[in-house]
Structure 1
Amino acid sequence: MTGHSLSEAQREAADRARRETVEELHRQLTEHVGSLDNRAEWERYLAFARSFHQYSFGNRLLIMLQAPDATAVAGYRAWQARGYQVRRGEKAIRVLGPVTKRAPILDPAGNPVLDADGKPRETRQLVGVKPVPVFDISQTDGPPPPQHPDPVLLTGQAPPGLWDALATLVADRGFRLERGDCQGANGLTLYSERVVRVRADVDDAQAVKSLAHEVGHVLMHPDGADRGCRGLEEVEAESVAYMVTQAHGLDSGQYTFRYITGWATQAAADPEQVVRATGQRVIEAADLILAHTQPDAIRPAEDALDAFEANIDRTITTGWESTSTTAISGVTHDRKRHLRALDRGLVVGR
């Protein structure tokens, strides 16, 4: 780094260029998350998933006890209606179904309520339960079901110096950086132990992307408190990781688009709208990180931006439908304020 080689005017130019890069990357992220191809893939998967009966907690336990590997369960006729056929000889999973009877609707005085034709109105009244046979999709023959669009791990090398720069940020915030088991994830932050851990058995490109994601958590969610919406926090952290790695020339787009889509969908929110709503906090955090990893870069990541824009027309196999047209508004960037905040350990954008 050449921290003392630039004049004040050059530093201000570097700050402006970096901020413009960050805001442009966020704009592109928002657009790609809402891409048509991405939306269509997720809509197919969600339409399939939502077509199944939502079983009660008790019935879910019964299914788990009888068929722990079950993924999509329906009755015999319901499978036929979807174009599947339960194979001969398959053993049914038994759940509890309602037993009902017709009962007249009564007014407060106990008299039957009549419809427009003068006939008594009726309702279905629950009088008991009975065992009902259902089957998992693994017990059927039919077309391949839509698959959950999972992110694909990045491969290859990491941008030079990025891991070390992010590791310094982790240490400055009072966390210890480790490589090792992440309980099925690619990275995690253990707030009680003040540890940031990144999976050890991935390529350097994926490792540094995961580290940037965890740094996003450390900056924006410093206490690890449950704020009632983990999906929103995951969207924020992954957006930061995308913008930081992209600014350093590492294209993590396919991973980020699918990851954000999955978490926003779990939060029952429109993905593009979520990205827009979290934009200001994400931009502030990404800009702070890049102020550390690229402090004197007057043209940060312009080569990465050019390469990214050249790939805009390629097919992206993950995305969402936009319901928001609100633009992200920028704010004036003050490099010294951000560096002072970093030194004091202040929360970004809060």
Structure 2
Amino acid sequence: MEYRRVGTSGLVVSELSFGAATFGGSGDFFGAWGNADVDEARRIIDVCMDAGVTLFDTADVYSDGASEEVLGAALVGRRDQLLISTKAALPLGDGPGDAGTARPRLIGAVEKALRRLQTDRIDLFQLHAYDAHTPIDEVIETLDVLVGQGKIRYTGVSNFSGWQLMKSLSAADAAHRSRYVAHQVYYSLIGRDYEWDLMPLGLDQGVGALVWSPLGWGRLTGRIRRGTPLPERSRLHATADAGPPVDDSLLFDVVDELSAIADEAGRTVAQVALNWLLRRPTVSSVIIGARDATQLSENLGAVGWALSEDQVARLDAVSHREAPYPHFPYFRQDGFARLNPPMFPRPALAG
């Protein structure tokens, strides 16, 4: 396991981290992900620790706080050996104060998370979504006070657009407040939109990416193949409409190439997909999940080795989609290309 700084901050995390959405899973949505109790969570954490994983990610909205509760109970006696990240902002109810990032909601969310997690501090606290109804200065000031109180060590965001993140960073800089160091984002071989705007922003502003759903909402496990039905246990039966959409032709082209490379490398499809992500700019940690220790061990096998340059190029080419206007670093006109060199070589066109 390698360890990386989150952006340009002092926070150091393992290159793979664990997403605890499967802990305490309940209801149709989170129950389809998994429902590990405290004993199973301890076993999973043991496997993670043996592999060198240091960061465990959760959120208040995961099974209405049950994920935080199970994670906290499973970490009793070893809290100081590990890092916890959690999130708040998404709706927990229908009341006017049950969603968003206004001062009362943020303070209450942190206090409740600390109790559920049985800890005195949150190593990384992230806003789960942008709240357009609350002034950015109020959000930045509230988080800065919580950092000053020691209840939060670092702050970050999740699922922000480029302008939302940049406006927030500018407001923090202008007020000399703590700025966001992490952006938890969707990024995978079948979802590379992050590269078009948010990755250049992260490079420029020193914001590290924590990648959620690196296997494309469960589509890049190797169990979904061209011309075959969904596996009986796939969570896509219950959650496909809630996850990032993907064109079937792109999915199956990518899976075919992943399968070929997996055979060459003596690895699984999932391991190859995760290893590709670990080589991308700004990626500080890739968040993996698992229903059980067996599935977890497979995902942990994504580290300790590297794809060849040829294999990376093949995956780049098969997963490439032209960036839309106005992302001219990827545009063909010579003038724009000279002003904005691309981060990745553009795949050669056929013919």
TM range (shorter): under 0.3
Tell which structure's C-alpha radius of gyration is larger. 1
State the TM-score, normalized to the length of structure 2. 0.24
Which structure exhibits the higher relative contact order, with contacts defined as CA atoms closer than 8 Å and separated by 6 or more residues?
1
TM-score normalised by L of structure 1: 0.24
